[in-house]
Amino acid sequence: MAFNIVDKTDDVVPVRNVLLSVFDKSGIEELVNGLVKTCPGIKFFSTGGTYKRLADILGGKAPGTLVAVSDYTGQPEMQGGLVKTLDFKIYLGLLGEKYNEAHQEDLKRTGAVAFDMVVSNLYPFTEVVAEKDVSPEAARTNIDIGGPCMIRAAAKNYIRVASVTDAADYTGIIAELRAKGGLSLATRFALMKKAFAHTAAYDTAISKYFAGVEESRIAATYNLADKL
């Protein structure tokens, strides 16, 4: 398999398309309003509870600014919200490289957009498993799949995409957008490092919890229909 080795990118990247899906919505109103004010023509792509929150924030201020991911991909969410953003058009827009002609042709062919920013944080796994007598099933249910995938894809493509995982960075991001008209490579690189630390800590917490669960407890959790 040949890997894509990139030798050209932009220092400052404007923010036009944002994929936004957060469990913790702290500071999201300030971020969204700041992005609308500093990024002309911006569009937000979102799902579930985040979509509803964005609809409340945006109201009638910017018609056409908010797009449901299911409308964008043409696929409804899986029951229980298990699959929302795991879609080729999403990851083409996250991983596509600006100066790669084949990637740009793929974007045109599929009608996909290039995402400039992902804003995401994850299901509260550590908080759930800290509760007394939490069941393995409750823990399993609170394992986020789509969030880490989006965060990691955006972080891998830091040469073009900002992967935002910490609400403490919102104010600085808006300030830089206001000053420069986009986010610098240095900022995207710093956000990448935080993003991979975030997903690494999340996976470690999951591994640590299940390492301490006995197999007998797992077997007792479920009604094993095909038990021998």
- The residues near 64 (Cβ < 8 Å, ≥ 6 apart) are 43
- pLDDT surpassing 70 at residue 202: yes
Mean pLDDT of 32-46: 95
Paired sense of beta strands 66-68 and 43-46, if any? parallel
Q: Are 160 and 10 in contact (CB under 8 A)?
A: yes
Q: Which CATH number covers residue 165?
A: 3.40.50.1380
Average pLDDT over residues 69-74: 92
Closest CA to 20 of 52, 64, 62: 52
Host domain of residue 150: 17-221
Residue 6, in any domain of the structure: no
Classify residue 103: in a domain, yes or no.
Answer: yes
Say if 7 falls within a structural domain.
Answer: no
Query: Strand, helix or coil at 183?
Result: strand
Q: Global pTM?
A: 0.91
Q: Please report whether residue 11 resides in a domain.
A: no
* 145 closest CA partner among 77, 95, 222, 73: 77
* pLDDT tens sequence across 134-161: 899 999 988 989 899 999 999 999 999 9
Residue type at position 88:
F
| Inside any domain, residue 228 | no
User: 1 lies in a domain?
Assistant: no
Q: How many domains does the chain have?
A: 1
CA distance 205 to 194: 17
Give domain status of residue 226, yes or no.
no
